[in-house]
Homo-oligomer: A and B are copies of this chain.
């Protein structure tokens, strides 16, 4: 049985509306740290076994939770657990920094970067480019119905980066103004597709149609080692508006074909020639 504190942490993750896959991985790693404080011996081992089931279910679309679970051994030793969880937290932190460093080299003075939804990896790229003194502008979608885009707008405002907010339906119009596109990822599948907030795929198509290079920022722990894009469960949160049920699948799938490169902490991955 998982302790109530852990259950409540998993519930916080389940209801989160704004934050993306990196935040989820971080909260997951913190749940393991907490477990190491609370349990030991067989109780710990059983709880870790349960976490193998429960943690990926918090958001089955996100590869980060799948990889975190694989990274943590099912052990009765709280010290081993603690050191592995801390290692993963360090990886999250360092990967994001390095992605910022690598990705910011793609941003030149005068660039107009279009993005969709809120990715902390993308924010890190913007922050790093700003630190390097690059002068650029961001076009971002408000990202209905939860408006993660406005959370990103707040962050950009605090960093002194100029931005413009658009509705989700205007990605076609504004991709024509962009010189670069950059989005995050919740899952990079075995067949090289990127699963990210719904609306990413239409943005990629519009960028392709207007010859705007389309990049994805994704830590290596967002790569799924086993699943192809068709096998990933896409989480949905339908809602009601004016008496109508509105479908709300949170993620869509962008094929490799439309992606110029994936910025990871290891470097920029480009599609193989035959694609």
Chain A contact residues, CB within 8 Å of chain B:
116, 141-145, 147, 150, 153, 164-174, 197-203, 205-206, 209, 234, 241-242, 244-249, 252-253
Cα(A220)–Cα(B166), bound, Å: 32
Give the shortest distance, in Å, between A77 (CB) and chain B (any CB). 44
Q: Are B165 and A167 in contact (CB under 8 A)?
A: no
Tell me the minimal C-beta distance from A72 to chain B in angstroms.
32
Q: Which of A170, A200, A234, A247 has the most CB of B within 10 A?
A: A170
With A173-B198, A199-B169, A205-B205: A147-B249 Cβ-Cβ less than 8 Å: no
Copies per complex of this chain: 2
Decide if B198 touches A147 in the complex (CB within 8 Å). Answer: no
- Cα of A133 to Cα of B138 in the assembled complex, Å: 50
Partner of A202, one of B172, B234, B247: B172
- Which B residues touch A172, using CB under 8 A? 198-202, 205, 252
Q: How far is the CB of A264 from chain B (nearest CB, A)?
A: 24
What chain B residues lie within 8 Å of A144 (beta carbons)? 144, 167-169
Alpha-carbon distance between A181 and B200 when the two chains are bound, in angstroms: 20
The CA-CA distance from A171 to B201 in the complex, in Å, is 9
Q: A165-B246, A247-B164 are in contact. Are A173 and B252 (CB under 8 A)?
A: yes
Nearest CB in chain B to that of A157: its residue: B244
Pairwise interchain contact B246-A171, C-beta atoms closer than 8 A: no
Q: How far is the CA of A168 from the CA of B145 in the complex (A)?
A: 10
Known A-B contacts: A164-B247, A165-B245, A169-B202. Give 17 more (CB < 8 A): A145-B167, A150-B242, A150-B244, A164-B245, A165-B244, A165-B246, A166-B248, A167-B198, A167-B247, A169-B197, A170-B247, A172-B198, A172-B199, A172-B252, A173-B198, A205-B206, A205-B209
Complex: chain B residue closest to A201, CB-CB: B172
With a cutoff of 8 Å between Cβ atoms, the chain B residues found around residue A171 in the complex are 202
Closest to A170 in B: B198
Bound complex: CA A214 to CA B130 (Å)? 42
